[in-house]
Amino acid sequence: MVRRSDTREAIRAVALELFGERGYERASLRELAVRLRITKAAVYHHFATKEDILASLAEEFAARLDELLTWGRAQPPGPGTRRELLRRYAELLAGRHGRLVRFLEDDRAGLRDLAAARDLHRRLDELAGLLADDGAAAAGLLADGGRTAAATLRARLCLVALHDGAAARVAGPAAGPSRSWSTSGEVELREAALAVAQDLVC
Amino acid sequence: MVRRSDTREAIRAVALELFGERGYERASLRELAVRLRITKAAVYHHFATKEDILASLAEEFAARLDELLTWGRAQPPGPGTRRELLRRYAELLAGRHGRLVRFLEDDRAGLRDLAAARDLHRRLDELAGLLADDGAAAAGLLADGGRTAAATLRARLCLVALHDGAAARVAGPAAGPSRSWSTSGEVELREAALAVAQDLVC
DNA sequence: GTCTATACTGCGATAGAC
DNA sequence: GTCTATCGCAGTATAGAC
């Protein structure tokens, strides 16, 4: 174990949980500190601002997303690539990042003018762009805008599908935190989401 | 012209605009009052609380939604009904309610524990239920949960598609407020959204 | 690295005059 | 129906002791 800073990591984890429950704005550093059994000031020792906590979580995800985008850009456009792109993205969302992206989707309004969130949305837009890349569109066959708008929408929707699939718990803030979340129903949901998503752009 | 209370209606309109721009929480009554060139106290003369303003907007939409749901429940399940249900819903969103539903979608976190928003989401869930009604599911052919999860997800996605289509402006808070929004690109987007939505559940 | 204590800001909401 | 003025509270953030 490295545990160079135990507290910093604990803050990140609890903050992600809290952001997901309350949204970014309503998640107060006071409550964050209470859950961690430290004080607000202690939090400020590790992060300069509230936004920095979010940024720290976002960067981690952004790095993984960049890997995926780099891979995707290097592939020849087509149904096979899109299918594999979605599979890899779904895999990426299975861990901690699923909670982040879920919260990102649920709190667009609250995050609208935060740099960290905008950066992430920019990357997701690029991912959607790769998924909307029709082959047909690349070949210049579509002068008509109608089908392009539809393809763009479909790409966006299939990301929403995966993000929905990444929704872990429904509610239950009172339940014990160390319960296993990997119920069979959840895995089923993830698989159904991937299937629907692939169906949308393949 | 009726104009029984001009101000009350003005508050509703500007509030909807402001909620859409900032989200519910960050939309302050102070800024609302400034835009209307009245004071916060004047706003409180017309609405007891901030939440009441939202509730007032929500009720109007809820009433229209109820009409649609009543119609939908009375129809025989099937692709034709679903298609028409979507067409009517898209039509409903073309007016003011499109902005409301757009804001509802963008600010889930901020609205999570507001009664008005929950009521609306309950109705949207029922609408999604009608759209997920497979015929096959109604006939009890699906004991297996996998396909049901997919059908549920598809229904939810096709509402998202229409809500996306209802997104009026992209940004432009500085532009003049009385500009015409009915660009041809916007109509195209609406039509594409409806087509994608119908494709998803028919 | 964590604490106590506090500064400062902006929020929703209220009181009472006009 | 609108105003001025203010209350009480919760938020982020800071200062400085331990």
Query: Does pLDDT of B182 surpass 90?
Result: no
Q: Do A22 and B109 touch (CB under 8 A)?
A: yes
Q: What residues of B are in contact with residue A110 (Cβ under 8 Å)?
A: 23, 25-26, 107, 109-110
Calculate how close chain A gets to B103, using CA atoms only, in Å.
8
Backbone torsions φ then ψ of A150, nearest 5 degrees:
-65, -40
Q: Which of A114-123, A160-169, B169-178 has the highest mean pLDDT?
A: A114-123
* Terminal-residue alpha carbon distance, chain A: 43
Q: Express as a percent the part of chain B with pLDDT over 90.
A: 76
DSSP string, B116-177: HHHHHHHHHHHHHHHHH--STTTTT---SHHHHHHHHHHHHHHHHHHHHHT---SS-SSS-T
For residue B91, name the pLDDT band (cuts at 50, 70, 90): very high
Helix (H, G, I), strand (E, B) or coil at A132: helix
Amino acid in position A5: S
Which band of pLDDT confidence, cut at 50, 70 and 90, is reported for residue A197?
very high
Give the pLDDT band (50/70/90) at residue A185. Answer: confident
CB A189 within 8 A of CB B147: no
Which positions 2-61 of B are in contact with A (Cβ < 8 Å)?
22-26
pLDDT at A27 over 90: yes
What is the phi/psi pair of residue B171, to 5°? -145, -115
B44 CA – D2 C1', rounded, Å: 11
Residue A173: pLDDT band (50, 70, 90) is very low
To the nearest whole number, what is the mean pLDDT of chain B?
87
Name the 3-class secondary structure at A131.
Answer: helix
A107 near B CB under 8 A: yes
What integer pLDDT is reported at residue B185 of this predicted model? 78
d(CA A127, CA A152): 11
> Which residues from chain A sit within 8 angstroms of residue B149, using beta carbons?
188-189, 192
Q: Do A148 and A142 touch, CB atoms closer than 8 A?
A: yes
Residue ranges of alpha helices (H) inside A40-167 are: 40-46, 50-74, 79-93, 96-106, 108-111, 115-132, 145-165
Q: What is the pLDDT of residue A95?
A: 86
- Backbone phi and psi for residue B36, each to the nearest 5 degrees, phi listed first: -85, -5
pLDDT band for B167, please (50, 70, 90 cuts). Answer: confident
How far B55 CA sits from the closest chain A CA (Å)?
19
Indicate if the pLDDT at residue B64 is higher than 90. Answer: yes
Do B100 and B61 meet the contact criterion of CB atoms below 8 Å apart?
yes
What are the tens digits of pLDDT across the range B145-165?
A: 445 889 999 999 999 999 999
How much is the pLDDT for B45?
Answer: 95
Radius of gyration of chain A from Cα atoms? 19
Count other C-beta atoms under 10 Å from residue A120's C-beta: 22
Q: Which helix (H) or strand (E) holds A175?
A: none
Q: Which of B137, B158, B138, B159 is nearest to B146 (CA)?
A: B137
Distance CA A157, CA A175 (A): 32
A68 or A189, greater pLDDT = A68
Q: Which residue has the higher pLDDT, A103 or B167?
A: A103
Please state, in angstroms and rounded to a whole number, the distance separating the CA atoms of residues A10 and A12: 5
Closest CA to B162 of A132, A153, A159: A153
Nearby residues of B181 by Cβ (< 8 Å), 6 or more positions away = B168, B169
Q: B14-50: per-residue pLDDT in tens? A: 999 999 999 999 999 999 999 999 999 999 999 999 9
Phi (first) and psi of residue B172, to 5 degrees: 55, 60
* Torsion of Cα atoms, B38 then B42 then B43 then B49, to 10°: 150
Q: Which nucleotide C1' is nearest A43 CA?
A: C2
Strand C: list positions under 7 Å from protein Cβ: 1-6, 10-16
Q: Is the pLDDT of residue A190 over 70?
A: yes
Residue B173: pLDDT above 70? Answer: no
Note the pTM of the prediction, 2 decimals: 0.89
How far apart are the C-alpha atoms of B68 and B128, rounded to whole Å? 12
Handedness of CA A77, A78, A79, A81 (dihedral sign): negative
Burial class (CB in 10 A: 0-12, 13-18, 19+), B182: exposed
